[in-house]
Structure 1
Amino acid sequence: MSEENITRLEINGKELILIGTAHVSRHSAEQVKEVIEAEQPDTVCIELDKQRYESIMDADKWKNMDIFKVIKEKKTTLLLMNLMISSFQKRIAKQFGIKPGQEMIQGIESAKDTGAELVLADRNIQVTFSRIWHGVGLGGKLKLMLQIFASVLYNEKVSEEELEKMKQEDMLDSMLEEFTEHFPKLKKPLIDERDQYLSQKIKEAPGNKIVAVLGAAHVPGIKKEIENDHNIEELNKVPPKSKAPKVIAWTIPLLIIGMIAYTFYANPEAGLQQTLSWVLWNSSFSAIGAAVAFGHPLAVLMAFIIAPLSSLSPMLAAGWFAGIVQTYYRRPNVGDFENLSEDVYSAKGFWNNKVTRILLVVVLTNLGSTLGTLIAGADIVRLFIQNVFG
């Protein structure tokens, strides 16, 4: 049995065998099967949480998705990001004729075949996303979304030899250095905290011999953290929402309305100009966002009409209304949900599938509305200053 990509540790009288895998490598899946069958461990730990485990085991999960509920619960951006993140991985996996996450599936199957207990050792993905989202700030969020979206457009093929090189620790160190250079605040919740979480779960797994199936990026961190004790409860905490964004979200519309009202009082013509600026910038950019998503004409019209009003209320968003109209007139059918996992392989698929088209309509309409609000707000402030202090 090859010891490549395998790390053996002794902790508290337990034998831990860490298999560092690439998530889209055929060799990784084969090695997982070989190691578990040879070692006959008491427990197999896999780098999955309950939500991702159920997604892997339930092939029909997309058919059961309620798109109206996704929009209502404000989860369109999160779902779109999830789909985009998985797109690049799935495309490479398809290139090699394997399922993405095949090594995790193999770990589940081999645990069952050998009678080993299965432990889902990773942190809940929603907690990880919440901690990431909380820490990157507005600029970081935009940069992250652009980076993820760019991965959908990436079509270069990767050789399996290059893929295997990604599992070497020295290669990973350089990759992580580049990763933290672009997104320094992202490494802590995405890599470091999960290293701590995974190491604690592996260490606490029942039995004396434990095999852990892990993405190779986590192996160096787990080797470092396994000797330390970590508080799982603390690592599972979702950061409290700051009150500042809510205060700002209500303050800005009130200031906008106040400035327009005062300008109307001082100079009705300038006040009318402010109002037109607010309506046209908001409406135009919101409608452009919906149109870029290839939304239904009535969804684009809805985005144009509702944006100036929704921008004045933190409780509303133009994209929600446009998305609901898009869903009504371009309701996804069973085929769209069945093809979703295939269609996310490419940018064309994202725009062609009715499910992702709805998500794009919501997200791009909201982005357009936000941009229009910033431009219109700046123009309103300019006219206000000119008429009050000019």
Structure 2
Amino acid sequence: MSVENENITRIELDGKEFILIGTAHVSKNSAELVKEVIEAEQPDSVCVELDEQRYQSIVDGNKWKDTDIFKVIKEKKAPLLLMNLALSSFQKRIANQFGINAGQEMIQGIQSAKDTGAELVLADRNIQTTFSRIWGNVGFKGKMMLLAQVIASVFSNEKITEEELEKMKNQDTINAVLSEFTEAFPRLKKPLIDERDQYLSQKIKEAKGPKVVAVLGAAHVPGIKEEIKQDHDLRQLNELPAKSSFPKYIGWLIPIIIISMIVYTFVTNPEVGMQQTMSWILFHGTFSALGTALAFGHPLAILTAFVAAPITALDPITAAGWFAGIVQAYFSRPSVRDFENLAEDVFSFKGFWHNKVTRVLLVVVFANLGSSLGTFIGAADVVRLFLKNFI
């Protein structure tokens, strides 16, 4: 017996039958449809639109306890973890307002695969890879805008209207959070939608058995219907964006120019050279320390940001936020309780700042933002003094 529904798409390809269930991540009816289809079809494999990380967050609500906050800082993943937390906050807001458990259809897909003996396939690309490919496509201005929107989405107290909810029923959760941002950066449709369609379609096509059911967000079904006809290189889709050599050269060129100007000025006019040095130190140190203070950082983390920023600004390999974040994590070490409470704490402004995990992340990000601002202002003042002295 087969189930027919407007949200079900059947594809025959290479002797296999693929049954795509277009679900709404915020609809109560989608989970019921998933259960009904899998029980009726008895597929060999069930693919769900989850990666390993999101799957673990469903089956193990305490996974945060294993997070190594120092490793997150050293691997420069603080902004990416903040984005993950923003998604959690967004989903929590929907659940609280409408009594809808976002992602319930994926949970049902996992359970139904287990009940019917079908092989479960985690078909989505790692969310960190997707965020990394987005992060690598927006430049400095885009990164600032993206972080601003992510943080704003966490602290927003606006109610979601019924009209917005209906629109979200045809959207990916990530798309919903970043909808305004993708309008400003249309090229992000590729890593956010197109590449994931390709990845999902290839994983579905490679699933074992002659009959495969795929539980997908409705927004992905049209793309997958086309992409499944082609072969896609999963290794290539999983590659992190290659870093352009241009920013690397610029990253070293600016410090060389700044140091050269200060040294030359010291030789010819020590007084002005001292002014340049103090300008560089004070602008970097002050703005980075201010950013750390805004994140309610530990006093020693604030001091570390002040001391580290003028030095790390001359070294493209390091960043003031690393040092400030490590000091923050050391003197205000997150406890198991902080990790366990993350899901609830990210739902409110107070909780976001109170939780020691998110505070460490905010210290890293805000210290780096302050240092970056100090670079522009400090470098401009060094050049101004140089030109004033020699012209």
Contact 1:285 1:369 in 2 (8 A): yes
Q: 1:74 to 1:177 in 2, by over 3 A?
A: closer
* Distance across 2 between alignment mates of 1:281 and 1:371: 8
Of 192-201 and 9-18, more deviation after overlay is shown by 9-18
1:97 deviates by 3.8
| One-letter identity of the residue aligned with 2:226 | K
Q: Residues 80 and 132 of structure 2 are in contact (CA less than 8 Å); yes or no, is this contact kept in structure 1?
A: no
Any idea what SS the aligned residue of 2:275 has? helix
1:172-251 aligned at under 5 Å gives the runs 180-251=182-253
Matched, 1:333 2:335: yes
Trace 1:239-388 onto structure 2 (pairs within 5 A): 239-388=241-390
Of the structure 1 ranges 174-183 and 291-300, higher mean CA displacement relative to structure 2 is found in: 174-183
Q: Secondary structure at the match of 1:10?
A: strand
Displacement of 1:355 after TM fit? 0.7
Out of 48, 53, 65, the position equivalent to 1:51 is: 53
Moved more, 104-113 or 160-169: 160-169
Greater shift in the superposed pair: 156-165 or 77-86: 156-165
In structure 2, give the amino acid aligned to 1:302: T
Deviations 1:111-139 (A, max 9, x none): 00011111111122233223222222222
Q: Closer, same or farther in 2 for the Cα pair 1:369/1:174, shift >3 Å?
A: closer
SS of alignment partner, residue 124 of structure 2? coil
Q: CA deviation at 1:27?
A: 2.3
Number of residue pairs the alignment of both structures matches: 386
Query: Is contact 1:46–1:213 with CA below 8 Å preserved after alignment?
Result: yes
C-alpha distance in 2, partners of 1:33/1:204?
Answer: 23
Q: 1:179 to 1:275 in 2, by over 3 A?
A: closer
Distance apart, 1:34 and its partner CA: 2.1
Structure 1 residues 305 and 235: alpha-carbon distance in aligned structure 2, compared to 1, 3 A threshold: closer
Whether contact under 8 Å (1:7, 1:18) holds in the other structure is yes
**Conserved 8 A contact 1:46-1:214:** yes
Distance 1:376 1:340, change over 3 A: same
- 1:177 and 1:311, CA in 2 relative to 1: closer, same or farther beyond 3 A? closer
Give the TM-score of the pair, scaled to structure 2.
0.91
Deviations 1:202-230 (A, max 9, x none): 12222222211111221111122222232
Cα shift at 1:95: 3.1
3-state DSSP class of the match of 1:9?
strand
Unpaired runs of at least 5, structure 2: none
| Distance in 2 separating the partners of 1:126 and 1:273 | 44
Identify if the C-alpha distance between structure 1 residues 160 and 202 changes in structure 2 by more than 3 Å, giving closer, same or farther: farther
Name the structure 1 match of 2:133: 131
**Identical-pair percentage:** 70
In the superposition, relative to structure 1, how do residues 353 and 176 fare at CA in structure 2: closer, same or farther (>3 Å)? Answer: closer
Q: With structure 1 as the length reference, what TM-score do the two structures score?
A: 0.91
Instruction: Return 5+ residue gaps in structure 1 as ranges.
Output: none
SS in structure 2 of the partner of residue 18 of structure 1:
strand
Aligned-partner Cα distance in 1 for 2:375–2:24? 43
Which piece of structure 1 moves more, 290-299 or 351-360? 290-299
User: Aligned equivalents of 1:175 and 1:381: distance in 2?
Assistant: 41
Shift of 1:313: 1.9
What pairs up with 1:58-69 in 2 under 5 angstroms? 58-69=60-71
RMSD: 2.4
Instruction: Give runs of aligned pairs for residues 7-86 of structure 1, distance below 5 A.
Output: 7-86=9-88
How many Å separate the matches in 1 of 2:158 and 2:177?
18
Structure 1 letter corresponding to 2:20: L
Residue 146 (str. 1) matches residue 132 (str. 2): no
Structure 1 CA distance for aligned equivalents of residues 88 and 340 of structure 2: 16
Displacement of 1:80 in angstroms is 1.6
SS of 2:157 mapped into structure 1: coil
Q: For structure 1, which segment, 293-302 or 366-375, has the greater mean C-alpha deviation from structure 2 after superposition?
A: 293-302
SS at match of 1:211: strand
Whole-Å separation in 2 of the counterparts to 1:85 and 1:314: 30
SS at match of 1:185: helix
Residue identity matched to 2:23: T
Q: Measured at CA, do residues 384 and 159 of structure 1 come closer, stay the same or move farther in structure 2, by a change above 3 Å?
A: closer
Of 3, 16, 26, which residue of structure 1 is paired with 2:5? 3
